Structure 1
């Protein structure tokens, strides 16, 4: 059985997805050899309150996929509205994305970045294939929040909250 032809291309799909405003996270973990990995992601959401679970996805071709699939814990650092540079750093191809970044080790050594709006420390529980991505579902072991406003992404640009 073949799928029907789509009435849109991947560029249209991507631009249309961009109309959904999201927060920006940096997912971080420590590899078995002690090295650190981190990447910017906006594919983050809640799954369940009981037990507390979250979901996010990672491209199959990501250079840090193996580390993130094998680590026991990772951290989801929800960026604050003044952390655009951190988002850009962890979205870049920089060799050492942690150089000069203020962080402390969380569960399993996963870096918890300073100054974030919120942080979730997550047990790496489930992974599923999802097209050109792998879907991570994890159980939140610890979380914390500040009163800082979040950094947002909408229509291809960073945004900040504004009161209505």
Structure 2
């Protein structure tokens, strides 16, 4: 089996492209018309997904309470996100920096820098106010897979997960 889906969601993460390659795959075709792919079982499965800057901005706005209007920039070294948030009833500019990483079967955005700026509050700097932000737990999916690699590139991140 070899399938590629555009604009897919896996867990809570939006992907611009998601490909499934496998052997001995049991996947009902009834959901394909509705745009839903569900793998019931597989002897072997490799999932490769591409998360773009816009995809990650959308995911971060859903996962980080009160973050709005996020814009993300990706390089091999870091991910930067700029947006706004309401803090104590006031609108503030937020700048996050970090990396995507795998830990114990989960995909995280690990913050390395957080700047919050507001005309009344001034500027507050903190290194890790929110801690790691879990984006997806690949162990809790209907067909659990192991996240194999997370590769940051210019403008996108490529994820590979496997079921052996």
After TM superposition, the score normalised by the length of structure 2 is 0.32
Structure whose alpha-carbon radius of gyration is higher: 2
Higher strand share: 2
Tell which has more relative contact order, 1 or 2 (C-alpha 8 A, sep 6+).
Answer: 1
